[in-house]
Amino acid sequence: MAEDTIKIGFVGAGANTALRHIPGLRAQPGVELAGVANRSLASSQRVCDEYEIARAYEDWVELIEDEEIDAVCIGTWPYMHRTLTLAALDAGKHVLCEACMAMDASEANDMLDASKANPDLVTQIVPPPHTMSAEAHLIDLITDGYVGDVLHVNLRAFNEMNWPDNGTPVHWRHDRDLSGNNVMTMGIWYENVMRLVGHASSVQAQAQTVVKHRLNADGIRAEMTIPDQLDVLYTLAGGGTVNMSVATAIGTFQPPFDLWIFGDQGTIHIDKMDFSQPAAQQLRITGGKRGDSEMSEIVVPDDKLGSWRVEEEFVNAIRGVEPVTRTNFTDGVKYMEFTDAVQEAWQSGSRVSLPL
């Protein structure tokens, strides 16, 4: 397929698909946006009309079984990710799947097993964008000993903050039947930290549901079972600990996120995130080493600046140009195991070891 046109179908053309994947894939040479399957034919047709996509399908089965489709972009909520991925791989389609990977680690492992059984097909999970612009440089700094041995990482993730309000509607992230074991954006942030300092080896957690009821799509009060405030303390496989706080209902005064990496030789701090800016200005990074009198700005060199190129990477992997690095199914399983471990830890009050 190195020179052939790649025909891509979309199952679930939601917000991130419209924002990222449709324009990102359209920008790739030799790619045709071939079809859409939303929850209804009328909805599929609206997307096709708005984004000039060739065909509206009545359901996802029809799209996946279409022999003209080479690859499937899955933009549904997590409850369908395993079903759609397995069906697409069985039909010989490459898969780009929205995060989070699945409802739980068991489903994620099913997806990984199916991808291993089809090594000729590309499988990719959409990665988090938060530290993407500086990730390569941060990894090099840490690898080269800027902080020395990692002692502790402190992450506070408070994007999309609001005051507690029982009148706010149910988001799909509040519905365990749609989102599974992931809590808010905890899995996404774990993946960000995992790329910088490695995997968790054990997990402890406490959680609370501040907004105990919200209004469902019918305007009826629904009980919330997924926390909106979470504190996780975990040990790193390579040594050190991480304290992660994630919340969405404790006011509006917190910054979107605040990340500290403390080592025995230095410290790195990131405390700004603005995706409306060019890559070089999206994050504010400062650092200091043992013996410094104060922390100073860390500038990411131009040749290490990262950018959103998920769709380009997916297409290049199909053509055999480069492998998938953000995010392959193996790493996806690791963050799904972490979400399961956090779920067990905060419900049982015990320490949970990883891998599961």
Residue 148, judged by CB atoms within 10 A of its CB (0-12, 13-18, 19+), counts as: middle
Cis omega before residue 327 (within 30°)?
A: yes
Give residue 2's pLDDT.
Answer: 61
Tell me the β-bridge partners of 268: 261, 287
**Which parts of the chain register pLDDT below 70?**
1-3
Give residue 277's pLDDT.
Answer: 81
Give residue 252's pLDDT.
Answer: 87
Domains of the chain (ranges; CATH) run 6-126+309-327 (3.40.50.720), 135-306 (3.30.360.10)
Give residue 1's pLDDT.
Answer: 58
Long-range pairs for 110-116 at CB < 8 Å and ≥24 separation?
110/82, 110/86, 111/81, 111/82, 111/85, 111/86, 111/329, 111/332, 111/333, 112/329, 112/330, 112/332, 112/333, 114/85, 114/86, 114/89, 114/90, 115/89, 115/329
Q: How far apart are CA 28 and CA 21, in angstroms?
A: 11
Q: How far apart are CA 279 and CA 345, in angstroms?
A: 37
CB 231 within 8 A of CB 207: yes
Tell me the pLDDT tens digit for each residue of 160-209: 788 999 988 998 888 899 999 999 999 999 999 999 999 999 999 999 99
Give residue 256's pLDDT.
Answer: 84
Give residue 241's pLDDT.
Answer: 98
Give residue 278's pLDDT.
Answer: 79
Give residue 286's pLDDT.
Answer: 97
Q: 134: which DSSP letter?
A: T
Locate the DSSP E strands across the chain: 6-11, 31-37, 55-56, 71-74, 94-97, 123-125, 150-157, 200-208, 213-215, 221-223, 229-236, 241-247, 257-263, 266-273, 283-289, 296-297, 352-353
